[in-house]
Amino acid sequence: MKMPALFLSFLALVLSASAQPMNQQRKMTLQECISIAVRQNANVLQAEYQSETQDTKLLSAYGNFLPSLSASGQFSRQDNTFQTQVFIQGIPISTQGRNIANNYSGGLSASYTFFDGFANIGNLNLARKGSEAYSFNYKRARQNAVYQTTQLYLTVLQDRELMKVSEDNLKRDERQLDKIKTSYSVGSASIADVYSQETAVSNDKFQLVQAQNNYENAQANLKFFLGLSVADEIDFSDPSLVSEIDTTEFARVNQQFSRVAELLEKAYESRPDYIASRLNVEASLAQKTVARAMYYPTVSGFAQYNLSGTQIDQINQNKRFYLGLSISLPIFNGFQTQAQIDQADVAVKSAQQNLDVVRRQVQLDVYQALLNLHAAEKQYEAALNGVQSARLSQQTAEEKYNIGSGTLLDLLTANAQYTIALSNRVQAAYAYINAKKAVEFALGIINQ
């Protein structure tokens, strides 16, 4: 009787031990999320594939400077059946003949282009600049994934703290409701106060549900961006990110980002998208070189060596060696060359215009990021002062109401203002953190 009971107890312990890790939430820091994003985000992967494709074009462009070499082999069998006529004592007699001939042949040929109007050089420059441009586009896609991950991660942390503010507000109003009900039971509070406080508690519950929903949606958005299942239980927490900002760092940050002209020059040197646009201009100029090459002659040489024989072991019975030089000069091709040159000119102008647009976009991004950073700093300072004032006002209203010198309306108003002040502080803190990341993203120096 004891053995089944012991076995069942052991089985229960094993099942509980195996089930415990499944119920435990997986914790992920911001850096862990960034590592996943730069590996799994769809936009990053697409940029990586495009960069790899451009690398193959670069390899092909290098191959244009090398000779081409090919080998061939052939076997043929000829079976001829024919009719012949012979005369025997003047009488024609038809006979059938058959001839079988085998042929084995092999060859080696090579060719090399000595001059093609600098088209090979132009194609190499075009492929090289294109490969570099796509590599910088890939780098910018990674930076964009880092920045978006940071934004989504900060939103999760912010909404979680806002939910905590709503929970604390609800608990505070529920405790106040219990006090009012107790006062009403002894006749020191009116039924109107009970109803008013119950309304406040109901509103708090409504706000809490909304805050919880915002928090769940923020987590779902982050999981989706990372390519994770939205049903995964993940605890997004990072000890390095705190909403309590040391205001003494404002002076240091402002000093770091004070020289706008230097920051713009730094952005021009660091922004991958601006560098890629500059390389696209150089690539379009190389394309123009390729188009002009059609006006020049092409000089190429070739060599060929062939062997043939009737038996495989006698394939070297017949030997041939060819060596030659060819020159071709385009005379007229229906204005195709001029059309390609004109198209290349338009491509150069378009690339230069796009470079100017990207340059102005860099300026706008940097200016707006700095403005938002200064605004976030001022908002956080104002939010801190607002919390202190609202807290004192709430405490004063609560004390007055408890001693009967204040109204419940004043207390409800003070509680609402205090909750708003706490929410503003949370939002201002994460807005400032995000604003600093936005400056790094605008400058093209955001960490990966």
Per the document, the length of the chain is 448
Quickly count: other Cβ atoms within 10 Å of residue 21's Cβ: 8
Give backbone dihedrals phi and psi of 289, rounded to 5 degrees, phi first: -60, -40
Q: Are 341 and 288 in contact (CB under 8 A)?
A: yes
Detail the DSSP E strand segments found in 208-348: 234-236, 298-309, 318-328
Phi, psi of 83 (to 5 degrees): -105, 135
Query: CA torsion sign, 176 to 182 to 184 to 186?
Result: negative
The whole-number pLDDT of residue 448 equals 61
pLDDT of amino acid 24: 57
Q: Which two tokens stand for residue 79?
A: 């079976």
Listed as own residue / partner, the contacts of 20-29 with beta carbons closer than 8 Å and 24 or more positions apart are: 25/233, 25/234, 25/235, 26/232, 26/233, 26/234, 26/235, 27/234, 27/235, 27/236, 27/237, 28/234, 28/235, 28/236, 28/237, 29/237, 29/238, 29/239, 29/240
| Cα→Cα distances 115→127, 290, 298, 306, Å | 19, 13, 5, 27
Pairing of strands 234-236, 26-28: parallel
Instruction: For the domain covering 28-69+116-297+335-443, report its CATH number.
Output: 1.20.1600.10
**Rounded Cα distance, 446 and 432, in Å:** 16
Q: What residues in the chain have per-residue pLDDT under 70?
A: 1-25, 82, 89-90, 97, 448
pLDDT for the residue numbered 248? 81
What pLDDT sits at residue 17? 44
